Amino acid sequence: MDRYAVIGNPIAHSKSPLIHSMFARQTGEDLQYEALLAPLDDFSGTLRSFLDEGLGVNITVPFKEQAWALVDKHTAAAERAGAVNTIKRMADGSLLGDNTDGKGLVRDIQHNAGLTLAGMRVLLVGAGGAARGVIQPLLQAGPAQLCVVNRTVEKAEQLAMLFKDLGPISAAGFEWIEEPVDLIINATSASLDSKLPPISPSLIRPGHTWCYDMMYASEATVFNRWAAEQGAARCIDGLGMLVEQAAEAFALWRGIRPDTSEVLAALRQK
């Protein structure tokens, strides 16, 4: 049986094995998918040991940047992102690295939630790896403006410089921007600690502005609760992004993209 895995630390919480098992049943693909805990000081050993026989892996926190350095070839998305969350072992044994996070985010926003990004004013909160991994697909969707806002402005400015050839991108500090936008995407991990990024409530125009938290939990994240209190038109968590990026990985490995709607509905029900 063809073997695949997700590697991270921690990893016990991962929904990837459940998601990919549902994809396999739906598509009739015969595969096994497992979760592997890698030591913080030996990710490469875990990766190479599995790929001696395994055909592909997903990479999660905190190993995506290490994975980028270990593959033989990058897709355009991975090259720009500077991080790899999906690896495919090719027929010649070489490793292809991709980053499906941004594609998953954009598809969740546009296909699942029904918000067209073209012409939108989008605020991306945070300038870390999660933000960098989604900028290229966001710009390819054609927003009127993508502004990266971060506590350390220099980090946001570095990202704006890196992607400026792809579309209208700018950088700002939290205190610099107060005009309402159409969509706010929280790419920080603040929700994991039940904290809010220091953004102004004036960024939300009641009944108009959408808010998206790339984190997800069994209940609404602190960011989405705050957004709802400010009158946001809609508040979305990152579960759909998780499912959509997994479908992109599955398609890279198996050549068939599963239908994500029934999988996402089942996860929401759980």
Q: With contact defined as beta carbons under 8 Å apart, do 39 and 68 qualify?
A: no
For 111, the token pair is: 């296909």
Binding residue per annotation — 231? Answer: no
Pairing of strands 95-98, 234-236: unpaired
User: What DSSP string runs through 105-121?
Assistant: HHHIIIIIS----TT-E
Q: Is 15 annotated as belonging to a binding site?
A: yes
Ligand-binding site membership of 160 (annotated): no
Residue 98 labelled as part of a binding site: no
85 is in an annotated binding site: yes
Separation of alpha carbons 236 and 177, rounded Å:
22
Kindly report the CA angle at 249 between 244 and 253, in degrees rounded to 5? 145
- Whether residue 155 is annotated as binding a ligand: the answer is yes
- The span from the CA of 20 to the CA of 191, in Å, is 26
Find out whether 248 is annotated in a ligand binding site: no
Residue 153 assigned as binding residue? yes
103 marked ligand binding residue = no
Is 129 labelled as part of a ligand binding site?
Answer: yes
Q: Is 64 a catalytic residue?
A: yes
Give ∠ CA 204-205-211 in degrees, rounded to 5: 45
Annotated binding-site residue? 133:
no
14 in a labelled binding site: yes
CA 192 to chain centre: 15
Strand partners, 3: 32
Q: Is 214 annotated as a binding residue?
A: yes
Closest by CA to 149, choosing from 130, 124, 168, is: 124
Distance CA 11, CA 254 (A): 24
Of the residues 64, 88, 164, 195, only one is catalytic, namely 64
Q: Are 57 and 6 in contact (CB under 8 A)?
A: yes
Q: Note whether 163 and 139 are within 8 A (CB).
A: yes
- 125: annotated binding-site residue? no
Residues at the annotated binding site? 14-16, 60, 85, 101, 126-130, 150-155, 214, 216, 238, 245
Residues at the annotated binding site for shikimate? 14-16, 60, 85, 101, 216, 245
Residues at the annotated binding site for NADP(+)? 126-130, 150-155, 214, 238
Active-site residue numbers? 64
